[in-house]
Structure 1
Amino acid sequence: MKDIASRANVSVATVSYVLNNVDNQTIPETTRSQILRLAAELHYIPSLTARSLQSTSSLDSCFHFVLC
């Protein structure tokens, strides 16, 4: 995401909002289009590890590692 943000001259947070399709942010359509275009050009693939860390609590992660 840092590469996309740097090339689009926006923050990493803005890239995250666009790529995660967050509705409650007012991001201009031109910026949104530019970020999506750059993500495609750079073959951006979301990190499943990062996404799973974001969507689970640390307690859930702890139980996962103990049980596995």
Structure 2
Amino acid sequence: MANTQGPQGNYDPAGSTQMFRAFVDEDPQGEQQRASSGPRIGLVVGVAAVVVVVAVVAWLALM
């Protein structure tokens, strides 16, 4: 157990403030790479879903 203190000098027995700061201060390079590929994947899935819905509607209209 680490005897850490929070920003106001309060005792933090779990050291959660220190762990939170380490999490917030991490290098965001990996997050940026994942975020840039996320919208592209979502766009492809959305277009594929629209194509499937249009195909089903056309098939039902021709029956």
TM-score by length of 2: 0.27
Judging by fraction of residues, say which structure has more strand: 2
Report which structure shows greater RCO (CA 8 Å, sep ≥6): 1
Structure possessing the higher radius of gyration over alpha carbons = 2
TM-score by length of 1: 0.26
